Amino acid sequence: MQTKKKESQSKRLKNFENLLRSRLEELRNHVDQLRREMVVEDEVDDEATQAFRSHNREFVMTTMEREIRNISEIEQALERITKKEYGVCVACEKAIPDNRLQAIPWTRLCVDCAGGGIKRNHDRTLGQPVFGSSLG
């Protein structure tokens, strides 16, 4: 029974590893494509063309920065798989649910620690202030 559980866990991790490697390759290819497309343009006298090129360059740079950050996060996730630490929240050390790992396979945090599991005060009634008031 224990062997089947280990095999299942190993297969599960291999699936996540394949998903991560596939996404890593996509991102690297996209960053390479963006780098090739970012050529230094020649001088233009038209201010509208200059503004367009400047805006486009900023957009491409922002996209590249985000993609490079994702590449780094994926590489770290692959490292956690190697160290047998994958799927465990680095903040609370609880298991990260597979649904979250399917959505964001490189995540290091469970939903609660990432701030997605917002704790709501259900005792509050409609019309009451959210924060205590020093008035009155």
The overall pTM is greater than 0.75: no
- Express the helix, strand and coil content of the chain in percent, nearest 5 each: 60, 0, 40
In this prediction, residues 79-90 reach a mean pLDDT of 94
Handedness of CA 6, 11, 16, 20 (dihedral sign): positive
Contact 101, 107 (CB under 8 A): yes
pLDDT for position 117? 59
Kindly indicate the confidence band of residue 8, based on its pLDDT and cuts at 50, 70 and 90: confident
Average pLDDT for residues 81-110, to the nearest whole number? Answer: 94
